[in-house]
Structure formats: C-alpha cells, structure tokens
Structure 1
Amino acid sequence: MRPVLSPEEMRAVEAAAMTSGRVTGAELMLRAGAGVVAAVEGRWSALAAGGGRAVVLAGRGNNGGDGYVIARLLREKGWSVAIHALGEPATKDAAAMREDWGAPVLELEALDGAALDGAELVVDALFGTGLTRPLAPAVSGALRLAQEAGVRLVAVDILSGLSAETGQVLSEAPFVERPADLTVTFQAPKLGHVLTPGARLTGPLEVVDIGLGAWLGEALEGWQVVQLTGPGGAQDKVQGHKYDHGHALVFAGGVGRGGAGRLAARSALRIGAGAVTLAPTPGALQENAAALDAVMLRAVAGVEAAEALLEDSRLNALCLGPGCGVARAAEILPVLARSGRALVLDADALTALAEEPARLGDAGPRSVLTPHPGEFARLFPDLGEALKAGRSKLEVTREAAARIGAVVLLKGPDTVIAAPDGRAAINDAGGQGAVPWLATAGAGDVLAGFVTGLLARGWPPFEAAAHATWLHTACARSFGPGLIAEDLAEELPKVLRRLASGESA
C-alpha cells in the first residue's frame, strides 16, 4: 500500500517545506524538472543520448515553471527544444525559470502539425494538479494534436484536463482518448491518478522524490487514503484445528438459484476459512449437494431455521445476498444483524437493505457492504446522483460509510473501500494494470466470498475488504483473458504461492 494525496494535501506538504526555510519553491521546481528528464531517459533509453527534438507546453503557474526547467535541461543535453506557452508566468518562481530559459517562447496557439514534425517528445506542463475548471478548446486541442502526430506525450504531475481530486476529465472540447505515454508526479500519487477515468488516461506513472520526505511523513501521521499495491497482511495460516480459522456461513437461494452462493462459499474456503457452510432453501439442498464437496450444507427455510443454525457459536462470519432473493434476504437480514457475527451484505441483501435501512440494526461496525454503482445508488440515492454528476468516488464512498456506520466497498475498475472512521483504500484495476475480463457474471460473488473468508479468519472488516479486493484483482490478472468467475478462486492458490515465495502476484 502507498499513500495517495489530494492536491490540497500536497500543497500543504510543499508549504510546510518552504516555511521551514530548508528549501525554496525554486529549488523544488529545479528538482521536479530534473526528475522528469531523468524519468524520460529511464523509460526511453534511446532518448538519453540527446540530439532529439522536443516541444514543451508551458502554463502560467508553477507547472509551467517545471516545463521551463525541463526545456532548459533537455537543451543542455543536446536537444532541439521549442516552448509553446499559454502566456506570461504568473508566479515568481515560474518567471525566474522562464528567464533562465533565455530563448524565445512561442504562443500555444502557434502549435500546429508542422511544429510537431520530427518531434520525439511533447511535454505537457500546462496545468498540473491545480486545474479546477474545464480546459479551453485550444488547450485540449494541443494535447490531441500531439497524440494525432504520434509523438510521445509526457505529463508533468498529471495530464492537463484531469482533476487531481476526482480523476474526472475537465474539458470544454473533446479530450484525448489515449493515455499519456508517461506521467511523472512528485513525492506521492494523487487521487486523480488512481480514480477512473484518470487512472486510465494517466498511463505509466513515475513517482519522483523531490526531497519532501520529512514533511510528507509529518503530513501522513493522520493519513487515511491508500492505494492498494499489494496484499494488506500475511496470508499464511498457523497450525491448528479447522475451527481455529473460522467457520463461514453463506446463505443461498431456492431451486435453480444456487450458483452465486456456491461461488461465494467456495471462495471463502479457498481464502482460508477453516470451514464453510452453505445454507440454501430445503428444496435446493440436493442440487447444491451435487455441486459441492468440501463445503458443508444446511437447509434454512426461514427465520426460525436461521436462528437455530446460529446457535452454533463456531459460525463467526456470515454472507447474505448472492443468489439469495430479495424477499429471503429481507426476512433473514435482521436475524443476522442481531447475531453479533461479522457480516457481508451483497447483491439481493443490499436491495433488501435499501428498502429498509433499519434492518442493519447495530451491526454496522462489523459489516462490509459490497455494492456495484447501481446498488450503491439504491442504498444512497443522493450520493448516487452526486457520483453521476462528477463528485469524487472517494468522497461519496467515505460519506456512505460514515452514514451507515459500516465498511462500504464500491466496486468498479477503481474500487473504493471506506470505513466509517474515514480510512479509505483505492484499488486501481483500470489503469496500467487493467483487468477488463474481471467484468464477468459472478465475479462479485467471489469477492463477497473472499471478504467473508477473511472475516471468518479474524480479519477486521476494513482490512478484510481491502485485502480481498486486491487478491481478487491479482487472481484475474494472473489468469488473464478468458476468465470466468469460477476461475478466480481456483487461481488463488497460484497467487498465494507467488506471494509466499516473494514473487509479485
């Protein structure tokens, strides 16, 4: 895991550093520019020798100042460099870097196909993380022109036109369709790099250390948002009896509706729950028995049967929703909420909860809700509308978690997991490590099972949700195209073996 900062948090880190008197804004600008040049040379070794042709697009703020530094350093390495600027620098440090450039600067409007002829590099230093309003057509047009010309596009801090806060596109005119060839940011990723569609359009992301580590550490003492870059804890099981590793109970539906529950149950078992029981209706017992071996079965007709089953104190994690049916979920949910066990609510259980939120009772602190965007909008209509209107997915998920008092796992290519106390994690499966084949029927049931299994093993709700989400993506990435939901749990042992051996998953 690594911290992800909002633009405001990053500005606070920079301000603290400069206020300390140990570093100036100009020094940070010089380090940033040098970091971009080093990142370019590291990614494309053929460009390290210099002698190429580059076009730098410079804004009026400090991002533009970084651009002037990059242009000067490239020129010193033998590059032919042209700068196209939005106007005169608006900050003292940017003005100083333009003066150091000491050569003519062209207007952005002068950029055309001829200006890009033979260029090997276009550096976008127009707006960076400070953008809060839509780009003018001339600006977005310059970025599109670079891509249409087939020139490598390198973004400084973040691709101009992306909100560093929400990852949304801010542009009055059509925006670029392809990702940047490289984005170089400073000290830590920003939210816009990992939230969709910013995660996709960022392209390969290089994080450059510009010497703000001490102040970043101070800022992160209360830090609460991380990007999932690996497993969130040890997966190994210690020696012991099966019930030392928990007993998960997954409720299933009636005749012909058992597939989703079976997926969840097998997934809970695969991720290490010591025992798993599937509880379908009595009429569906035989069909589930024909499809399961290691998963135990108990018929549960309704409330009384559920209450009787929960007299077994070894059952410590419950999953309700996959293939259950809304009416059945609505009937059983209050029983589970009163049981004191860890609880995962997915699919039909979320619809039942949306109909009557009081059904969750006081179970929120030990619960994980796993909605897709449609289910989220039913649960939280106002937040669903805000999400559609472009509000940050991170913000709405955190607000939902605080409101309902439970961990909320809002699925998507940028899955956001939020706890009621404000902690949040973002799992980016839509950027460079995209796994589009994960969008397949039953994949969500497997994720619910992974979370349930970890809860049975004693993981806290937030950590269980985050770890399960990362492993879910890792399994999809490991299997590759052609994936169906059944493959996810079967791929998990391979992923876990790699992790145990120190390999990347």
Structure 2
Amino acid sequence: MQDTPSNWLITPATMAKIDADAIRSGIPGSALMERAGQAVAATALRHFPETLRFCVLCGPGNNGGDGYVAARALAGAGADVALFHLGDPDRLYGDAAEARRSCPLASAPLEAYRPYAGDLVIDAIFGAGLARDVPDVVAQCIEEVAAIGIPVLAVDLPSGIDGLTGRVRGAAFVAKRSVSFVGLKPGHVLLPGRDSCGPVEVYDIGIPRRIVEANRGLVSLNSPRHLRPHLRKASAADHKYRRGHLTVFSGPVLATGAARLSAEAGLRAGAGVVALASGGAALAINAAHTTAVMLTRIDTAGDLAAWLEDDRRSTFVLGPGFGDRALARSYARAILGSGRKLVLDADGLTAFAETPELRASLQGPTDGALVITPHEGEFARLFPALFGSGSGKLDMASAAAAQIGGVVVFKGADTVIAAPDGRVAVETSAPPSLATAGSGDVLAGIIGAHLANGVPAFEAACAGVHRHSQAALKALMPMTAEDLVRNIPPLDALD
C-alpha cells in the first residue's frame, strides 16, 4: 500500500521518538528547532499581515523553544514583538534554553499579557504533548484572548488540546491557523480538537523520511490508497457472481426501508449480486420496492442454513431495521461460523450489547470476516469498560478491534477505523450532511459491497467510509439517504 507524508498521522509519543532518533542520527536538535520557529514566523507574516503586535507566548518546553526562535525571527523582520513566558524561563534546558538565550527580546510573565485589538497571539505554550489540564494562568489567558476576539496562531496544536485524543484539557485556544511539523497529530483531526485548529500547515523541518517511516506506527489518515492495491481489473469474462454476492437482511413489515437502503447502496457500490433476505410478512412490501435487488425469503435459522449451502453467497449485512435481537444473534453466529463475511450494524450491534463479550458470544473465528459499525451510543453499550476508561477514540477503537478480532468502524464526524492488528485510519472529509436518517445503513451496504468484491476487511471498511463521505460531498443539500445512494462515486473517481 503506497503511503505519503500527506497521510501521516503521528502520535505525540511517536513524534518524540522521531525527534530523538533524528538527533541521534547527527541532526542537531537546535537546527530542528530553528527551522520550526522560522516556519512559524513565516506563517505569521504571510497570513496575518494586518497584525500590529505579534505576542509570542512561550511555554516551559520545546514548544516554547520554537516560540523564542519565532520571536527572534519576527523581530529581525522589523515586526513589533512582545514576548511572554509561562513558569521560570531560567529552568529551561537543552535546545529550548539555547533558543531563549539566542532571542534578544526580554520576556514578561504570561500573567502580564493584556490582549489588545491588533494583536496576533502566537501560542507556543504546550503544543501536542499536553496530557493534563492547563494551569489556571493559561486558562485565564485563553478566556481573555477569546473575549476580545484576538486571532491565534498555534504552534503544533492550540494549547489545551490533547495531542493524542483531541480532547480539551480544561480550556483551549481556538486558533485561526496552526503550524505543525513532519505530520499531522491525532489532535488535529479528532473532535473537538479539530474545530480548534483552523487550517493546519505541515512543515518539513529536515527529518529524513527513513526515520519517520521507521517510527511512525500504524495510524494514518483515511484515503482511497487503502483500496487501490486490492481493486480487481474488469474482465470480459466477468459475471455477476465473480463481482461478489451480498445478502442484506430485512426488518419486519414496518421497518424494511433501512435494509433496502443498504442493499441498494451495496449494488451501487459494486457488488455483482445483492439479495434482500426478507421474512414472509415483509415480502410483499419489499417486492414492491425492489428491482435490481433480488428478493429471497428467510424466516428462520434453518432457512439461513439452506441459503448458506451456496458457497457463492459470501457476504452479509445484518442489523439495519432488523428488530429481532435473538434472531440477529443466531444469524450472526451462523454466518461467521460458516466462514462468511459479515457487516454488523444497528440492531445487529444492539443484539450483542446484552452479552458479556462480543467475540465469545459470536462463537466463531472472526479474524478478517467481521466489520462492526457502531456510533458512539452503540459503542458505549457494546464496550462499556473501554468507553468508560477515559481513553481517546483511537485507543478505544483499537482495543475494541483487538477484543473482537474484527474491524471496528467507530462512526462520527471523525470516524475511526481500527483493525485487530493495530492499524488505524481516521476519516476527515465527512460533511455534516451525513447526520441524516439512513446514512449509516448506506455505509453498511458500501462496506458490504467491498467485502463481497474480495477486499480485505480493514481496507473494505476504510474504502467504504471514504466513499460514503465523498457521496455526501457530491449530494445537494438538503440531503437524504436516498440521495447518498445515488451519489456513491465510481471507484476510479475517488480523490
């Protein structure tokens, strides 16, 4: 799978290791800090030309060191610069201490800063490494800056945003723009942190790519690159079953629409055959609303067993509008026990919320065969211990995937896709219009189509989530789930 720096998502702990390895390789830490601070100064001058006073707020670590370099560079360019520090600057050490010594400007305690119209705040207090609530003096400064509406340029991340989870640690600056280095951090893309960063410019500060690649881990931004290596070229010898068979289970007579949305999405997304498995009571209404989607009657576990006798029926979506929790558990176990692939969504997830442990309850090998798609409420019911642990969304999704031995799509405006082997991807392009009834049903069908096409589970989920977002971006507002199905982009049009 091809990767590029634009897809990198680097945790704070990983970034610290990358910095350390770069320094061990012979690159002076002071040189890295100099490039970072100069990038901050250049960004401030380029994007905030109306500024009357550049107010640089420096913290007690390397983020503060970047700020001292930026202050020196801005003063050298003739700007009016005011410099403020948190804590005792005489206790700085290493590269940050050297950066302060090299800065000719006197600094005042952070408590002395009074924001005025015409200021630009350059926030170099904490950056991505923050994992505790900000002290009161910083919270007070944040409040005063926000009250006057002073623009903020954040160095790495706005102070107060947890770089790993995106959570607000007591209080946080809301930046007009952020400057980061080497790659984005999780706090830039996870909510609510994402809403506090503004546009983020990522600068190369001279760390060799080999060092980043050796350390950066298994977390990345989601993109079509997850799917491309697994696409099968069309052939004149193709037939519908070669493109994959997807079965979607319908709910009862008054709840059939969700399953039809999934089925139609699966067909539109590229499955060769899609069958809607309906109980007898709902056959008539489903027959009246389906054309290219096939219809079959499945009322019992015995009917499903007969359906599974055909090996071509490889992939299933269970849950949208399904209703019957006991039957959902029975069907899920039968499908996975037969070695088939399953997307478990909505009522299918709720059916297992009453069980002590999802993987044990499924009673079958799930590695590579199971994708679950919970939103936050469903995740909390399925994994109460994880949800209540205080971990961030990345860690919760990863732990859940390892627990069930399948892929977890932890939905939201910052959807996280996690595999049991530790791979994680974060989708950042989802528009607010996806907050509409039936949207999740469509997503389940798209993922099911990719699984039916033979795409591995993690890549199928990543591609499904991205394609789902792109469909919403194409659809006109206001958007319904039916509009979403109609706008699923062809595979060769993904960007």
Do the two structures share a fold, i.e. TM-score over 0.5? yes
Secondary structure at the counterpart of residue 388 of structure 2: helix
Please state if 1:371 is matched with 2:371: no
Shift of 1:410: 1.0
Distance 2:17 2:81 in 1: 33
- Supply the AA of the counterpart residue of 2:20: A
- Which of 26, 31, 35 is the matching residue for 2:35? 31
Q: Which residue of 2 aligns with 1:297?
A: 295
Distance 2:134 2:422 in 1: 32
Shift of 1:142: 1.7
Contact 1:62-1:91 at 8 Å conserved across structures: no
- Supply the AA of the counterpart residue of 1:371: P
Distance 1:229 1:148, change over 3 A: farther
Q: Which residue of 2 aligns with 1:451?
A: 447
Shift of 1:314: 1.5
1:184-203 equivalences in 2 (<5 Å): 184-203=179-198
1:126-141 equivalences in 2 (<5 Å): 126-141=125-140
Secondary structure at the counterpart of residue 246 of structure 2: strand
Secondary structure at the counterpart of residue 213 of structure 2: helix
Shift of 1:497: 6.0
Q: Percent identity over the alignment?
A: 43
Distance 1:285 1:453 in 2: 23
Shift of 1:39: 3.2
Please state if 1:17 is matched with 2:40: no
- Which of 319, 322, 343 is the matching residue for 1:321? 319
- Supply the AA of the counterpart residue of 1:307: A
TM-score by length of 1: 0.90
Which structure 1 residue ranges, 5 or more long, are not aligned?
A: none
Question: How many residues are paired up?
Answer: 478
Distance 1:152 1:444 in 2: 37
Secondary structure at the counterpart of residue 226 of structure 2: coil
Contact 2:333-2:364 at 8 Å conserved across structures: no
- Supply the AA of the counterpart residue of 1:384: F
Secondary structure at the counterpart of residue 401 of structure 1: helix
- Supply the AA of the counterpart residue of 1:314: R
1:85-234 equivalences in 2 (<5 Å): 85-89=85-89, 90-113=92-115, 116-119=116-119, 121-171=120-170, 174-176=171-173, 179-212=174-207, 213-220=209-216, 223-234=217-228
- Supply the AA of the counterpart residue of 1:227: L
Distance 1:245 1:72, change over 3 A: same
Which one is further off, 96-105 or 244-253? 96-105
- Which of 454, 479, 483 is the matching residue for 2:479? 483
Q: Which residue of 2 aligns with 1:334?
A: 333
Shift of 1:364: 1.2
Which structure 2 residue ranges, 5 or more long, are not aligned?
A: none
- Supply the AA of the counterpart residue of 1:207: V
Distance 2:478 2:225 in 1: 24
Contact 1:52-1:78 at 8 Å conserved across structures: no
Distance 1:354 1:175 in 2: 35
TM-score by length of 2: 0.92
1:116-162 deviations in Å (ceiling 9; x for gaps)? 2322x210000112222211232123233333333321100111101
Distance 1:460 1:67, change over 3 A: same
Distance 2:385 2:361 in 1: 20
Q: Which residue of 2 aligns with 1:242?
A: 240
Distance 2:481 2:46 in 1: 38
Shift of 1:450: 0.8
Contact 2:227-2:460 at 8 Å conserved across structures: no
Shift of 1:175: 4.2
Shift of 1:451: 0.6
Shift of 1:230: 4.2
Shift of 1:402: 0.9
Distance 1:229 1:35, change over 3 A: farther
Q: Where has structure 1 moved over 6 Å in runs of 4 or more? A: none
Shift of 1:99: 2.1
Distance 1:437 1:80 in 2: 44
Contact 2:343-2:370 at 8 Å conserved across structures: yes
Shift of 1:481: 3.7
Distance 1:87 1:417, change over 3 A: same
Contact 1:437-1:480 at 8 Å conserved across structures: no
